[in-house]
Amino acid sequence: GKIRIVPNPYNISSDLSLGFGSDLSNRLAFFNIPARCNIKIYSELGELITTVEHTNGTGDDYWDSTTSSRQIVVSGIYIAVFENLDTGEKKIQKFVIIR
């Protein structure tokens, strides 16, 4: 299936109204991903923000919208590259964060 990033666009002011709650703020979901993959998040300038290592065998994972140095990312367009660890296949998705 097609990989989905939810919510997209992510608007921080919508967190509570969507039922994400304060303990899940800044969290985006990735659905329909390979059971074993790396998700590399890049800025629109091509800078690597972080890598999410997904190896638990499920089809979904989450990202708390922080960099690898634990800083919250700013508003902008981001690119997620999903690399299947079993086949090497890559898929690319764009998403937007509004703060």
Locus of tokens 């690898």 = 68
The gap from C-alpha 22 to its chain's centroid, in whole angstroms, comes to 18
My answer on whether omega of the bond before 34 falls inside 30° of 0, hence cis, is no
DSSP class of residue 73 equals P
Q: Give pTM, 2 decimals.
A: 0.87
CA distance 41 to 67: 9
Per-residue pLDDT of 45-99, as tens digits, reads 999 999 999 999 999 999 999 999 999 999 999 999 999 999 999 999 999 999 8
Per-residue pLDDT of 18-59, as tens digits, reads 544 455 667 899 999 999 999 999 999 999 999 999 999 999
What Rg value do the Cα atoms of the chain yield, rounded? 13
